[in-house]
Amino acid sequence: MPRVAPLTLSLFYLTSFAVLGVYLPYFNLYLESLGFSGLQIGILTLLLPLASAVVPTPGGVLADRLGRRRELIVSSSLLALVTFYLVLGVRTFGATVAVIAVFATLRAPALPLVEASAMEISEAGGPHYGRMRVWGSLAFIVMALGTGPLVGLRGERAAVHLVILLLALNALSSLLIPREKIVAMAPAAPSTLGRFVRQPRVMLFLLACIASQASHGPYYVFYSIHLEKSGYRPQAIGLLWGVAVGCEIVAMLSMPRILKRLGTLPTMGASVLLASVRWWICAVSTAPFAMILAQALHAATYAAFHVAAVTHTHHLFGRERRSSGQAVYGSATYGIGNIIGMFLSGMLYDRTTMANLFAGASAAALVSGFMVVAAARSEAASGI
Half-sphere exposure of 95 (CA within 13 A, CB side): 8
3-state secondary structure 156-210: CHHHHHHHHHHHHHHHHHHHHCCCCCCCCCCCCCHHHHHHHHCCHHHHHHHHHHH
**Quick one: DSSP state of residue 379?**
H
Q: Which ranges of 55-189 does DSSP label H, i.e. alpha helix?
A: 56-66, 69-85, 93-107, 110-123, 129-154, 157-176
Tens of pLDDT, residue by residue, the chain (384 residues): 455 688 899 999 999 999 998 888 788 888 888 988 877 887 888 888 889 888 888 888 888 777 788 899 999 999 999 999 999 999 999 999 999 999 999 999 999 889 888 888 887 778 888 889 899 989 988 988 888 888 888 888 999 999 999 999 999 999 998 876 655 554 445 557 788 888 999 999 999 999 999 999 989 878 877 888 898 886 788 788 888 888 999 999 999 899 999 999 999 999 999 999 999 999 999 999 999 999 999 999 999 999 999 999 988 887 777 778 888 998 899 889 998 998 888 888 888 899 999 999 999 999 999 999 999 999 888 765
Q: Which residues contact 274 (CB under 8 A, 6 or more apart)?
A: 297, 300, 301
* Helix (H), strand (E) counts: the chain: 19, 0
The alpha carbon of residue 105 and the mean position of all alpha carbons in its chain are separated, in whole angstroms, by 15
Quote the crossing angle between the two packed helices 354-381 and 217-229, to the nearest 10°.
Answer: 160
- The pTM of the full predicted model, rounded to 2 decimals, is 0.82
**Domains, the chain, ordered by start:** 1-185 (1.20.1250.20), 187-384 (1.20.1250.20)
Rounded distance, CA 281 to CA 50, Å? 30
The alpha carbon of residue 357 and the mean position of all alpha carbons in its chain are separated, in whole angstroms, by 21
pLDDT digits (tens, 9 = 90+) for 167-190: 999 999 999 988 766 555 544 455
